[in-house]
């Protein structure tokens, strides 16, 4: 890859160059009239037994010369703790519906091996099981989100797993947990009842799944200190009938959430998705069109949910999202390893803005996936580690976790390619417990800086500071040889103009601003 002549100055220099050129304009209005909280669980992550996500990502060989606790890789843990990931979903994904939890407990040497039929036909040795996952969550200081096996498992199997983890009785299964080294209950409260039951989880109809959910959920018992949040396997993308049937047939009191899965496919073609690192402006534009479809999906699924649940007791849980490209050349196609460019950062910022703006219904989500798979936060290669551009977006956006949602009205210019148009800027805003207002803005335009003048109703503020992520090229990536090509830098393109905020967004950038209250 051509060496970036601005690398010694970083993105800050690029930012100054971008904002000094031609700039289009738009307006933003932000209100404090809201009683909605942006749940921290929107910023969740996903770790599946897939490729090098678990093995080689979180769980490494004992001989690898990195800091470890048992075989848990601690530099990965520390990086994720920095961005305050609130939950981690496991063991899948498609793998969840062929996973039998008893295979992953007890002495490691005695655990049975299995074939991972979904992802590459590799041998799964079950050395990373329930106790290892929950130790990882403890180190990360995040909540575990366990996906139960409905596709090939039984009601009893899932019920006993819950008892094993959460009961403080003297039952045989609890004694087994104690024997395996954990006397106290784990109190795991977030449970997925199957995964993609319309597809790899069983190829079910929504009517059949809704009945099956009620059966499994009836035997998924609460224990003292562990009232369950049961997440139903919801629709694939725009399957609105699935949502309709589940919301109609499953009582609101029985489920806490309905999942939604949607991936941004650059080409829109699952057979040939497109490269993660080599794409034209037209391909970039089409990718962003597909990314923005999340707004339509969330809006339409939420409207169906509102019919049956006007009190919004059931969350829309977008627990698989992200960009899915062709794998990197020379890698196992079943491992779904892809690089992560500035384009992916813009997708992450845009999607999180959509979730923030729908936080009355979207109260949980999970990026697919955390390490070495799909739109990863982190890439590893033996002892080496890279934080991707997407990681830096989650670092920038962590200020919105559990903050008060602030409604916005945005009028921005269009970004046009080959006669097609999308709005160039998207945004979201929140106010934290100290009164600080945070505004995140994404400029999708590859060429033009855009100046946004913001009116903040009922917000009294004194100073503004911010961070920006951008780069010279939309295809720029972080590599093991150059791990810091894209990183966050201080942003100086915002100023106070009377009672208004004026910010000039560089082309192809993500900016988060912090307004200090008076």
Q: For 456-504, what is the HEC assignment?
A: ECCCCEEEEEEEEECCCCCCCECCCCCCCCCCCEEECCEEEECCEEEEE
Q: Is 238 exposed, middle or buried (0-12, 13-18, 19+ CB in 10 A)?
A: middle
The pLDDT tens digits of the residues spanning 220-238 come to 999 999 999 999 999 999 9
Mean pLDDT for the chain overall: 95
320 is catalytic: yes
Q: Is 280 left (phi over 0), alpha (psi -120 to 50) or beta?
A: beta
Q: What is the mean pLDDT of residues 126-145?
A: 98
Question: From CA 27, how far away is CA 408, in angstroms rounded?
Answer: 10
The pLDDT tens digits of the residues spanning 340-378 come to 999 999 999 999 999 999 999 999 999 999 999 999 999
The pLDDT tens digits of the residues spanning 80-107 come to 999 999 999 999 999 999 999 999 999 9
pLDDT above 70 for 79: yes
Closest by CA to 367, choosing from 45, 147, 146, is 45
Q: What is the mean pLDDT of residues 129-144?
A: 98
Catalytically annotated residue among 156, 163, 196, 295: 196
Question: What's the confidence (pLDDT) of residue 458?
Answer: 87
Confidence class for position 457, pLDDT limits 50, 70, 90: confident
Question: From CA 454, how far away is CA 293, in angstroms rounded?
Answer: 26
Q: Say if CB 424 and CB 444 are below 8 A apart.
A: yes
pLDDT above 50 for 6: no
Q: What Å distances lie between residue 466 and 211, 421, 488, 503, CA to CA?
A: 50, 29, 10, 10
Question: From CA 230, how far away is CA 110, in angstroms rounded?
Answer: 32
pLDDT above 60 for 19: no
pLDDT above 60 for 125: yes
Q: Is 322 left (phi over 0), alpha (psi -120 to 50) or beta?
A: left
Confidence class for position 3, pLDDT limits 50, 70, 90: very low
- Other beta carbons within 10 angstroms of residue 81's beta carbon come to 14
Token output for 482? 């150059």
Q: What is the mean pLDDT of residues 410-430?
A: 97
Strands 87-90 and 143-148: parallel
Question: What's the confidence (pLDDT) of residue 22?
Answer: 55
Contacts of 180 (CB under 8 A, 6+ apart): 105, 106, 131
For residue 12, cis peptide bond before it (omega within 30 degrees of 0): no
The pLDDT tens digits of the residues spanning 317-332 come to 999 999 999 999 999 9
For residue 93, cis peptide bond before it (omega within 30 degrees of 0): yes
Better pLDDT: 513 or 5: 513
Question: From CA 353, how far away is CA 359, in angstroms rounded?
Answer: 10
> Any bridge partners for residue 461, and if so which?
517
Question: From CA 275, how far away is CA 502, in angstroms rounded?
Answer: 36
* Model pTM above 0.85: yes
Question: What's the confidence (pLDDT) of residue 512?
Answer: 98
514 is catalytic: no
Token output for 301? 């699924």
Question: What's the confidence (pLDDT) of residue 126?
Answer: 98
Catalytically annotated residue among 163, 320, 328, 383: 320
CA 31-33-38 angle, 5° bins: 90
pLDDT above 70 for 179: yes
Question: From CA 92, how far away is CA 231, in angstroms rounded?
Answer: 14
Alpha helices (runs of H) in 253-388, residue ranges in sequence order: 281-308, 342-357
Question: From CA 350, how far away is CA 48, in angstroms rounded?
Answer: 24
Q: What is the mean pLDDT of residues 416-438?
A: 97
Question: What's the confidence (pLDDT) of residue 16?
Answer: 41
| 3-state SS class at 156 | helix
Question: What's the confidence (pLDDT) of residue 178?
Answer: 98
Q: Is 115 exposed, middle or buried (0-12, 13-18, 19+ CB in 10 A)?
A: exposed
Rg of the chain taking only CA atoms, in angstroms: 23
Q: Say if CB 71 and CB 24 are below 8 A apart.
A: no
pLDDT above 50 for 198: yes
Q: What Å distances lie between residue 280 and 133, 156, 213, 285, 444, CA to CA?
A: 40, 52, 44, 9, 14
Domains within the chain, CATH numbers bracketed: 10-34+407-517 (2.60.40.1180), 40-401 (3.20.20.80)
Question: From CA 31, how far away is CA 429, in angstroms rounded?
Answer: 9
- Other beta carbons within 10 angstroms of residue 300's beta carbon come to 13
Alpha helices (runs of H) in 309-428, residue ranges in sequence order: 342-357, 389-397
């Amino acid at each position: 890859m051509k060496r970036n002549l601005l690398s010694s100055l970083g993105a800050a220099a690029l930012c100054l160059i971008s904002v000094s050129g031609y700039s289009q304009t738009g307006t933003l209005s932000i209100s404090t009239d809201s009683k909605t909280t942006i749940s921290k669980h929107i910023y969740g992550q996903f770790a599946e037994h897939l490729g090098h996500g678990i093995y080689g990502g979180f769980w490494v060989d004992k001989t690898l010369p990195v800091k470890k606790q048992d075989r848990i890789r601690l530099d990965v843990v520390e990086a994720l703790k920095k961005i305050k990931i609130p939950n981690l979903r496991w063991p899948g994904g498609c793998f969840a519906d062929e996973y039998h939890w008893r295979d992953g407990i007890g002495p490691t040497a005695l655990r049975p091996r299995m074939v991972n039929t979904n992802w590459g036909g590799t041998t799964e040795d079950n050395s990373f099981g329930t106790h290892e996952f929950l130790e990882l969550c403890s180190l990360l200081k995040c909540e575990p989100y366990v996906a139960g096996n409905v596709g090939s498992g039984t009601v009893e199997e899932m019920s006993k797993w819950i008892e094993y983890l959460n009961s403080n009785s003297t039952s045989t299964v609890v004694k087994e947990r104690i024997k395996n080294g954990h006397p106290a209950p784990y109190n795991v409260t977030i449970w997925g009842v199957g995964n993609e039951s319309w597809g790899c989880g069983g190829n079910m109809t929504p009517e059949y799944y809704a009945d099956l959910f009620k059966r499994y959920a009836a035997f998924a018992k609460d224990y003292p200190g562990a009232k369950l949040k049961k997440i139903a396997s919801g629709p694939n993308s725009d399957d609105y009938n699935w949502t309709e049937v589940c919301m109609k047939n499953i009582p609101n009191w029985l489920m806490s959430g309905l999942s939604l899965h949607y991936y941004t496919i650059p080409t829109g073609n699952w057979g040939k998705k497109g490269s993660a690192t080599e794409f034209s402006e037209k391909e970039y534009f089409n990718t962003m069109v597909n990314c923005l479809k999340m707004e339509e999906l969330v809006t339409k699924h939420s409207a169906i949910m509102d019919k049956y649940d006007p009190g919004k007791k059931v969350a829309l849980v977008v627990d698989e999202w992200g960009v899915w490209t062709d794998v990197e050349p020379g890698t196992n196609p079943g491992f779904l390893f892809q690089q992560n460019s500035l384009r992916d950062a813009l997708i992450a910022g845009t999607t999180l803005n959509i979730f923030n703006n729908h936080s009355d219904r979207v109260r949980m989500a999970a990026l697919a996936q955390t390490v070495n798979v799909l739109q990863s936060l982190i890439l590893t290669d033996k002892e080496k580690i890279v934080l991707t551009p997407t990681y830096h977006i989650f670092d920038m956006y962590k200020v919105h976790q559990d903050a008060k949602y602030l409604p916005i009205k945005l009028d921005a210019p269009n970004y046009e390619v080959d006669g097609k148009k999308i709005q160039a800027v998207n945004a979201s805003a929140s106010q934290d417990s100290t009164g600080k207002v945070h505004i995140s803005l994404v400029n999708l335009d590859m060429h033009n800086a855009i100046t946004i003048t913001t009116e903040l109703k009922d917000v009294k503020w004194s100073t503004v500071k911010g961070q920006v992520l951008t780069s010279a090229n939309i295809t720029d990536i972080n590599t093991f040889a150059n791990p810091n090509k894209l990183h966050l830098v201080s942003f100086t393109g915002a100023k106070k103009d009377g009672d208004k905020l004026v910010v000039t967004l560089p082309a192809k950038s993500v900016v988060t601003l912090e307004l200090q209250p008076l």
